[in-house]
């Protein structure tokens, strides 16, 4: 470029032409690489939408899971993707390297198929960081694994890939749970006796089964219950599955079997927070509140950031408080009620602090604040709960509408608002405890209206709606 620039600018035009040719080649190479990466099985290609996730809560849970002794590599891979979404790609890359180490440590010579998704994640991460050479290298590693382990059809994935995809859907958002079920089913078609896929399939079914559905007719043989037995046949020492099955059996009054499973779960997993949470829930349902509190408090010392444990403790203290309401209101009892309410509020607030979008705790707090006389704070939390309802699953929406209806009916004396929320909860389903409570409240409001005015059209309409939702079409028609 030491030639003088002539009047026609020929050297400049030559430089410009060379630059544009280089730019076009680079752009073309970039497009080709991106096209290749889109064919990979990776969290970057599974349509994981950031708006479906609570990144802060996911980050906290995954960090805790990584610290749990014996935790599988999934927590590392999941956390790496969360870090990428949080705008921390360097940390994401470091965590993925740890993930590869964990995979090789766990599976040794059989690691290749477990690395397919992880290599795909690294290929995309390198691409987004502008390191196209390393991105291409990881893409080639995936192709090498697939070449060495063909499935026989490009439409069929390896069970390890279906499984990793399923665990990702299961962990990242409740809105992806049905996708998780589908992926676990595909993995089980290829490896029906694999305990890992059976466990994952069990958890996905359990989470998608309607809350309190175990009390409905025929639910004793629900898919989740059957799958629990199947998974435990393959891995009888899994404390988490034992605790889940105990909850199912207790709902059908098989208390001796349930008790035996709970004691075995405690023996096998005495310090596992997930196991203790479900055992604590079982003990609370059986009225063993002090034992439940002791276990939950013990595990809380190891997992103080668990919103679930704080919530379970709050429900125990709430139940102790309610038990005292049924007794004679002596001065001592009133002091105890205040103490149990204080502890209930403390743990509900802790749960909401850890996870601000945790609606089961958020919607429970207003009742406790009202009992303390803090009307303004209660009203604020009710509105906050309702603002968070968008895109939440039916179980949560029904719970929030029930609590909102109770608040407006008993504490704000706004019958119209109460009817609106009870109706919205009722229309979701009457198969749950919350659905039945919405129906009971609407029936009671309607009957009180009819005492005042037997021709109240609104009251007749409410009774007709309740009966129709409960399947009583003939009675509904009369109203």
Q: What is the pLDDT of residues 136-189, one digit of tens each?
A: 999 999 999 999 999 988 889 999 999 999 999 999 998 999 999 999 999 999
In this structure, the answer to whether residues 407 and 442 fall within a common structural domain is yes
In this structure, the answer to whether residues 366 and 442 fall within a common structural domain is no
In this structure, the answer to whether residues 477 and 400 fall within a common structural domain is yes
Q: Which of 323, 319, 326 is nearest to 347 (CA)?
A: 319
pLDDT value of residue 211: 59
Could you tell me the pTM of the whole model? Answer: 0.86
pLDDT value of residue 4: 44
Is residue 420 domain-resident? yes
pLDDT value of residue 6: 46
Is residue 401 domain-resident? yes
Mean pLDDT value across residues 342-361? 95
Q: In which domain, by residue range, is 356 found? A: 304-326+335-377
Tell me what the pLDDT averaged over the chain comes to.
88
pLDDT value of residue 333: 80
In this structure, the answer to whether residues 311 and 368 fall within a common structural domain is yes
Residue 24 has pLDDT above 60, yes or no: no
In this structure, the answer to whether residues 404 and 465 fall within a common structural domain is yes
pLDDT digits (tens, 9 = 90+) for 199-240: 999 999 999 987 554 445 455 678 999 999 999 999 999 999
In this structure, the answer to whether residues 283 and 319 fall within a common structural domain is no
Is residue 292 domain-resident? yes
Higher pLDDT, 190 or 394: 190
Within a 10 A sphere around the Cβ of 469, how many other Cβ atoms? 19
Mean pLDDT value across residues 32-55? 94
In this structure, the answer to whether residues 409 and 477 fall within a common structural domain is yes
Higher pLDDT, 456 or 370: 370
Is residue 434 domain-resident? yes
**Total tally of structural domains belonging to the chain:** 3
In this structure, the answer to whether residues 355 and 435 fall within a common structural domain is no
In this structure, the answer to whether residues 411 and 457 fall within a common structural domain is yes
In this structure, the answer to whether residues 313 and 260 fall within a common structural domain is no
Residue 10 has pLDDT above 80, yes or no: no
Mean pLDDT value across residues 402-414? 89
In this structure, the answer to whether residues 298 and 316 fall within a common structural domain is no
Is residue 352 domain-resident? yes
Mean pLDDT value across residues 74-98? 95
Is residue 442 domain-resident? yes
Is residue 460 domain-resident? yes
Domain CATH number, residue 286: 1.25.40
Is residue 199 domain-resident? no
Mean pLDDT value across residues 457-476? 86
């Amino acid at each position: 470029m030491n030639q003088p620039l002539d009047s026609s600018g020929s050297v400049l035009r030559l430089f410009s032409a060379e630059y544009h040719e280089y730019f076009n080649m680079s752009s073309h190479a970039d497009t080709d690489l991106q096209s290749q990466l889109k064919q990979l099985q990776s969290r970057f290609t599974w349509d994981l939408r950031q708006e479906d996730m609570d990144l802060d809560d996911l980050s906290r849970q995954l960090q805790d899971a990584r610290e749990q002794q014996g935790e599988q590599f999934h927590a590392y891979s999941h956390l790496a993707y969360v870090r990428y979404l949080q705008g921390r790609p360097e940390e994401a890359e470091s965590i993925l390297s740890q993930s590869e180490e964990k995979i090789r440590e766990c599976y040794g010579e059989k690691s290749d198929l477990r690395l397919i998704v992880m290599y795909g994640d690294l290929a995309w991460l390198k691409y987004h960081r502008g390191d196209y050479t390393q991105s291409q290298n990881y893409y080639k590693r995936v192709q090498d694994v697939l070449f060495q382990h063909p499935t026989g059809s490009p439409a069929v994935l390896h069970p390890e890939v279906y499984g990793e995809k399923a665990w990702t859907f299961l962990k990242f958002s409740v809105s992806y749970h049905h996708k998780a079920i589908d992926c676990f089913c595909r993995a089980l078609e290829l490896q029906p006796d694999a305990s890992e896929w059976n466990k994952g399939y069990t958890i996905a079914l359990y989470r998608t089964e309607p809350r309190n559905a175990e009390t409905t007719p025929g639910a004793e043989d629900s898919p989740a219950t059957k799958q629990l037995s199947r998974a435990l046949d393959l891995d009888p020492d899994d404390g988490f599955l034992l605790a889940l099955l105990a909850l199912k059996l207790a709902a059908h009054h098989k208390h001796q079997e349930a008790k035996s499973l709970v004691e075995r779960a405690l023996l096998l997993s005495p310090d596992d927070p997930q196991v203790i949470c479900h055992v604590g829930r079982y003990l609370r349902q059986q009225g063993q509140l002090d034992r439940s509190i002791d276990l939950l408090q013990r595990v809380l010392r190891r997992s103080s950031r668990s919103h679930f444990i704080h919530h379970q403790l709050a429900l125990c203290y709430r139940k102790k408080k309610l038990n005292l309401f049924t007794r004679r209101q002596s001065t001592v009892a009133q002091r105890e009620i205040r103490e149990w309410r204080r502890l209930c509020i403390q743990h509900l607030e802790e749960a909401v602090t850890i996870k601000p979008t945790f609606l089961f705790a958020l919607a429970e707090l207003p009742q406790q604040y009202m009992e303390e006389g803090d009307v303004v704070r209660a009203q604020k939390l009710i509105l906050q709960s309702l603002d968070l309802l968008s895109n939440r699953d039916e179980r949560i929406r029904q719970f929030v509408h029930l609590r909102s209806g109770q608040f407006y009916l008993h504490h704000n004396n706004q019958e119209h608002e109460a009817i609106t929320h009870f109706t919205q909860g009722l229309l979701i389903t009457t198969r749950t405890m919350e659905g039945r409570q919405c129906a009971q409240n609407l029936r009671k409001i309607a009957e009180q209206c009819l005492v005042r005015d037997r021709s109240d059209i609104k009251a007749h309409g409410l009774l007709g709606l309740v009966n129709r939702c409960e399947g009583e079409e003939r009675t509904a028609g009369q109203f």
